[in-house]
Structure 1
Amino acid sequence: MRRLSTVLLPAALLLSSCGTGAFSNPFIQPIEVTLNPSAVALAPGSSTRVQVTGKVSGTADAVTGLNITAREVPAELSVTPSTGALTVTVKPGSAPGTYSVPLAITATGGSGTAVLAVTVTPTTRTPYTITPITSLTVQPGQQRRVSITPDRAGELATDVRITGITGALNVTRDTDPLGFTISAAATQTVGTYVMQITTTDGTQTLNTPLTVNVEENK
């Protein structure tokens, strides 16, 4: 027994003197986490900073040096943690709604959790317009490239994309999101054809007519 006692004594002394400060106990203690703000509302493409603070559970002792890990981040969001804070960004084109971001917070000797609520608000934009093309002419067996120009408050609406083109003529889409090529078959009947171009900016959708005159070969 004497030999066993001399072996255990240093270990007991080591445990009794382990650690200093808020987490002097060698075991993990819970951290009460506060998010400021605990819920944010952001439009697509915008971001904000959230402050993260903590204290030892059941006490007023503040915990510093908090490390933050975002878990299960929704695809619509981007979360960048730093010490004691995190930056939340809503990706462009994200659907409106409320998304939850679970957070794991740790410090030396302690851990805690929190959930940040992020509401993606609908995008408010000035409506865009597209001037219909009514003077396009093509002959049987020929093709013409077409490019539309969406306008928003006197400027090119660069976020507009063509999503569909319907009509009785052949259409080939190209890499330009606002361009395509119309083809008239060699046996195409001479006459006037009205195509429909569908466009969207992610919020607004327009159907714009395109009038194509198929004329006899000259």
Structure 2
Amino acid sequence: MPLLWGAALIVLGAGLLWGLVLSPADWQQGETVRIMYVHVPMAWLAMGGYTGLAILSVMSLIWRHPLADLTARELSPVGAAVTALCLATGSLWGKPMWGTWWVWDARLTSVLVLFFLWLGHAALVRAFDDPERGARTGAILALVGIVNVPIVKFSVDWWNTLHQPASVTRLNAPGMHVDILYPLLACALGFSLLFAAVVLARTRAAVMERRVRALQLARARREEGVPA
């Protein structure tokens, strides 16, 4: 954990300094392009994190792995937070570029649906007195919602939207200059490391909380003379 936190802070700090201060402005968008250094990594983490949530859900439903349940439970609030940041920064970026804060096009609407899926999972796994029942129900929701991730990714290709098509993933000819691409990738790596550090820290805290509760329950049973 200390190494992960340290790497996250160093890489993210360097990436944000590079992108927000040292990189050039875009020839069309001007200084507003700097919103991209937060918006794009948040979008990637929103989709990648939900894919991870679906993998954890498969592990939970098939192998009944308790750590998968705990990690999924702690992942969903973090995923909802990065998706909210994606929507907020996208709105800030859209106002000067499109002249409006929001449009109901395919990309924006599908990301909003993704945000609601994150919130739904976070609420559902905490809605039952039986944690195992909540984990099973949340896992089913996560697997149903995974169909939205390719919709988010390919919506700009399948439908006519205001949102620009993919620029970075065109490996044969990326749609941006390296002076903008490299700091963007550095920010994406830094945010990814920070995302992983936060999720792992939350999961470790959840494991310790469960252990403490088990010890308290065992102590209470001993005091009452009930076999543990």
- The TM-score with structure 2 as length reference comes to 0.23
Higher helix share: 2
Higher strand share: 1
- The TM-score with structure 1 as length reference comes to 0.24
Larger radius of gyration: 1
Greater RCO (CA < 8 Å, at least 6 residues apart): 2
